[in-house]
Amino acid sequence: MDNNLPTNRFSLSERDFRKLSDFIETELGIKMPEAKKIMLESRLQKRLKALNLDSFRTYCEYLFSEEGQHNELLNMINIVTTNKTDFFREPNHFDFLYSYALPALEKSSLSLWSAGCSTGEEPYTLAMVLSNFSEKVRRIDFSILATDISTEVLRIAENGIYPFERIEPVPLEYRHRYMLKSKDSKVNQIRLKPEIRSKIDFKRLNLMDKNIDLKRNFEIIFCRNVIIYFDKTRQQELLKRFYNYLKPGGFLFLGHSETMAGFNLGFNSVAPTVYQRPV
């Protein structure tokens, strides 16, 4: 009996799981151990239904065909990537940014990179914090590059429209100054003001792509709750890349459960999960 045959059309065989998981780890850097098989199977069922395919075997054959790599790859990426985020997530980072990092960067113009920006709450939070600093402390011009591998979340981010309950962490002052509530009382949504949206350039980017060339360096990089999904080798490669993309004196912010322990990359630790490239 062939143990690789699916028990039914919506069951992912071990062979197909290994093929998919190897591809996801190699191309996206995302760890896909056996424990995630059921999760992957559940998420990909949506694609089988959308494509009217009768099995995961047929889906894999299509995905790895020339046509599938052109037409289906982005859909698969959108399905398997995790996109949990909030406005002012891990608020201590934004307190440190406002009170220490921005004053330490004695420049009139700053470039920031939100790597793994998901649906946009992080770069919009950054834009509001920097706008507030510019208005109240020291005039600065700034631009934010916000990247993610998922085209689905980037579409949401570019629109800058969110359900009202999503802005609960945003201070009331920021809501009044940087957000617009829908004029239709039946539509419970807000949108970031044009002057905030104009500060952010959203781009699709695979952080595992070895040919990344962003054409510029940054004073500040946020990459939070992203490298946790990578193995140690890919974590080190990405952190080294961030070091090279930071200007001397620039700051890198990681997620609360991420660390540089065990890596000797030249960063100085300046606060919990905040690192600085030496001047």
One digit per residue, the tens of pLDDT, for the chain of length 279 reads 344 434 345 678 888 998 898 888 887 777 788 888 888 888 888 889 889 988 888 999 999 998 988 888 888 887 777 667 899 999 999 999 999 999 999 899 999 999 999 999 999 999 999 999 999 999 999 999 999 988 889 999 999 999 999 999 999 999 999 999 887 778 889 999 999 999 999 999 999 888 888 989 999 999 998 888 888 888 999 999 999 999 999 999 999 888 888 888 999 999 999 999 999
Same domain for 98 and 118: yes
Provide the residue range defining the domain that includes 49. Answer: 14-80
Q: What is the pLDDT of residue 183?
A: 79
Residue 177 lies in a domain: no
Same domain for 98 and 66: no
Same domain for 63 and 97: no
Phi/psi at 12 (5° precision): -90, 115
Separation CA 45–CA 198 (nearest Å):
37
Produce one character per residue of 238-265: b if its CB has 16 or more CB atoms within 10 Å, e if not.
bbebbbebbbeebbbbbbeebbbeeeee
Q: How many domains does the chain have?
A: 2
Separation CA 157–CA 196 (nearest Å):
12
Same domain for 252 and 147: yes
Same domain for 143 and 29: no
Q: What is the pLDDT of residue 176?
A: 95
Q: What is the pLDDT of residue 82?
A: 67
Q: Dig out the tokens for 123 from the structure.
A: 């770069």
Same domain for 21 and 128: no
Q: What is the pLDDT of residue 230?
A: 85
Angle, vertex CA 86, rays to CA 80 and CA 90, nearest 5: 110
Could you confirm whether 43 is annotated as catalytic?
yes
Q: What is the pLDDT of residue 1?
A: 37
Whole-model pTM?
Answer: 0.82
Per the residue annotation, which of 16, 57, 148, 197 is the catalytic one?
148
In the three-class reduction of DSSP (H, G, I as helix; E, B as strand; rest coil), residue 187 is classed as coil
Produce one character per residue of 47-58: b if its CB has 16 or more CB atoms within 10 Å, e if not.
bbeebebebbbe
Per the residue annotation, which of 15, 18, 43, 177 is the catalytic one?
43
Separation CA 26–CA 214 (nearest Å):
22
Could you confirm whether 191 is annotated as catalytic?
no
Segments in 179-247 forming alpha helices (H):
194-197, 232-245
Q: What angle, 0 to 180 degrees and rounded to 10, lies between the N-to-C axes of helices 73-80 and 37-51?
A: 140
Residue 250 lies in a domain: yes
In the three-class reduction of DSSP (H, G, I as helix; E, B as strand; rest coil), residue 27 is classed as helix
